[in-house]
Structure 1
Amino acid sequence: MESSKTDTRIWDKINGWSEELELLKSIVAQTELIETTKWGGCVYVLDNKNVIGIGGFKNYFTIWFFNGVFLKDEKKVLVNAQEGVTKSLRQWRFTSKDDVNESLVLEYIQEAIENEKQGKIIKPTKAELTIEMPEIFQKELDVNPNLADAFLKFSPYKQKEFLEYIVEAKREETKRSRLEKIKPMILENIGLNDKYR
């Protein structure tokens, strides 16, 4: 996600869209989807799979379709929030309750549910381990075989998360403190972002 300078993408947790979001919720309530909260927002699932979400941003409120790329979108209402970055997610943005055509929104949601039932999803591509091993971390692995063994048990994706965490630090002392923070996590087989998953 781009920086908060891009006003239209700022997630507005205390927003002025409560009435409008209630309208969207009342439409979704007519379906078999189950409401849950993920990433601080309202997400609707089918068999524990994310189908749609709703939320308010600074300049609009929206319904997003996690696999919206598969929707026919005959009315051309869907947008890709991050062109070139987002592969499957599509948003339908509204600026007032008058923009919400209940039967049309319901039609799109039903199509999204049907697509989910048919298993229409874009499988995420496995991230290559393209990040270079930080010297500070390699030295630690060389002197601590238990740490090295534990690190190798992680998937390439989780290994990459640990490496990026160290590499992204600008100062050497920050790199060292981050290394000290992740060592116990690695030894206990806890991924860097496991608590958020």
Structure 2
Amino acid sequence: MVCPFRIVQKLVALAKELQVYMTIPFVEEAKEGEAESRFFNTVCLAGPSGEVVVHYRKTHLWDYVDGSWASRGDSPGFVETEFGRVGIGICYDVHRLAQLYSNANLWALLYSVAWVGHPTDGPTERWFRKDLSEKYLGRDGLKCFVVAANWSTDREYFWDGAGYSSIYGQDGQRLAYLDLEVGDSILYSDIPFHSS
């Protein structure tokens, strides 16, 4: 799949150079025929092959923010990889993850979010830990790994971001989290390949 956006193309090339899978969140402008442009909250997944292997548009919009500018996507986004089946989610999709992926048999969900608050207090704790772990993972949930990459900026901007990205196991337990609100860092954890 070829994406026409230059920033996406540059990051796809980087994923190929590094031989990794890379999520690329961006605001997508889509023109359909002669109609007005529509905008989507989008994440593409670039593969080590140098191609976009998933193109996902957020399906569950948060009316307070997304509703003012974004159109709703209409389908899940996942791909079979050498590690297992990988799905994509965006932020407020937390309330639709089970519906989106209940029959997909995911190995991992790559989850781009923009939440605020420390992961032990406030909405990040409530959604990352309670909703995600208790409702959507574990015994009755998706039973997949979740790599939740949260946003971060620097202090120049009004929004500082939240940081505290996390990785969850198939049982909903947090395997790793980044105890950093602002700044650049890399979070990683060893997780087993899908057993199928």
Q: TM > 0.5 between the two?
A: no
- Considering fraction of residues, name the structure with more helix: 1
Q: Which has the larger radius of gyration?
A: 1
The structure with more strand, counted as a fraction of residues: 2
Q: What TM-score comes out, normalization by structure 2 length?
A: 0.22
**Bigger RCO of structures 1 and 2 (CA < 8 A, at least 6 apart):** 1
TM-score (normalizing by structure 1): 0.22
